[in-house]
């Protein structure tokens, strides 16, 4: 894949660098620990512990390397909570590149490598059962083009490239669409802690928290829909 370079992050797990944007797909302080902290611990796990559901619907902005999906699949198996996972990606990472990440070697369980392959090689725009507790719907489109419906999702993983690199992803208009799709009591989590993001989420009626970030980052944001 052009303009993509494999890199190593500080926790030993790999990530990718988009050379054109000069932006990494994860924190250079640690790819896995960032995703686990922001999206699993403070997103999916937080929602499950608060509401105790049997099934959760997760919506991810930016499938990218597939790491968030893989960690969500792992969480679904460990927690026994069924996860219905929908993810958008306008510029998919080719499997020939993604397989070099070898995230399975950093996660417990030998089957994770097969799951990672299934996540990347499953068909687009089809709801695919990856495991007994995890289904995946990948959609190749932009956030701006995706049609949302009300009361769709329990947890939002907002994992677009940084506002300085993709400002159009963080504008109030796309955020409003995402919030529209969220159920009452649902949560929105992102690694970004920009003041404008927090102001926009508050203006959309969300209850916004600034939480301790993953290693190397002071803060992250979680917002709950009333």
The CB density around residue 142, as the number of other CB atoms within 10 Å, is: 15
Question: What are the respective helix, strand and coil percentages of the chain, to the nearest 5?
Answer: 35, 30, 35
pLDDT digits (tens, 9 = 90+) for 102-131: 897 888 765 566 899 999 999 999 999 999
Torsion of CA 190, 191, 196, 197, to 10 degrees: 0
Percent of the chain exceeding pLDDT 90 equals 93
Average pLDDT of every residue of the chain? 95
- Assign domain 30-225 to its CATH architecture: 3-Layer(aba) Sandwich (3.40)
pLDDT digits (tens, 9 = 90+) for 52-92: 999 999 999 999 999 999 999 999 999 999 999 999 999 99
Q: Which residue has the higher pLDDT, 111 or 95?
A: 95
């Amino acid at each position: 894949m052009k303009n993509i370079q494999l890199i190593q992050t500080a926790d030993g797990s790999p990530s990718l660098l988009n050379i054109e944007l000069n932006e990494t797909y994860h924190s250079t302080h640690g790819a896995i620990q960032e995703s686990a902290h922001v999206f699993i611990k403070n997103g999916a796990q937080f929602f499950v512990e608060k509401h105790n559901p049997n099934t959760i619907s997760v919506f991810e902005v930016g499938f990218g390397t597939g790491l968030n999906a893989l960690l969500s699949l792992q969480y679904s198996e460990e927690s026994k909570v069924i996860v219905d996972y929908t993810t958008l990606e306008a510029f998919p990472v080719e499997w020939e590149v993604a397989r070099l990440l070898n995230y399975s070697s950093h996660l417990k369980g030998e089957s994770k490598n097969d799951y990672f392959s299934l996540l990347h090689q499953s068909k687009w725009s089809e709801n695919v059962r990856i495991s007994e507790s995890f289904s995946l719907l990948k959609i190749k489109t932009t956030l701006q083009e995706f049609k949302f419906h009300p009361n769709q999702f329990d947890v939002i993983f907002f994992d677009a490239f940084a506002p300085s690199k993709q400002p159009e992803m963080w504008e109030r208009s796309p955020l409003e669409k995402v919030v529209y799709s969220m159920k009452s009591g649902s949560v929105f989590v992102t690694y970004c802690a920009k003041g404008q993001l927090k102001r926009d989420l508050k203006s959309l009626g969300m209850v916004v928290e600034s939480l301790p970030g993953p290693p190397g980052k002071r803060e992250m944001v979680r917002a709950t829909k009333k």
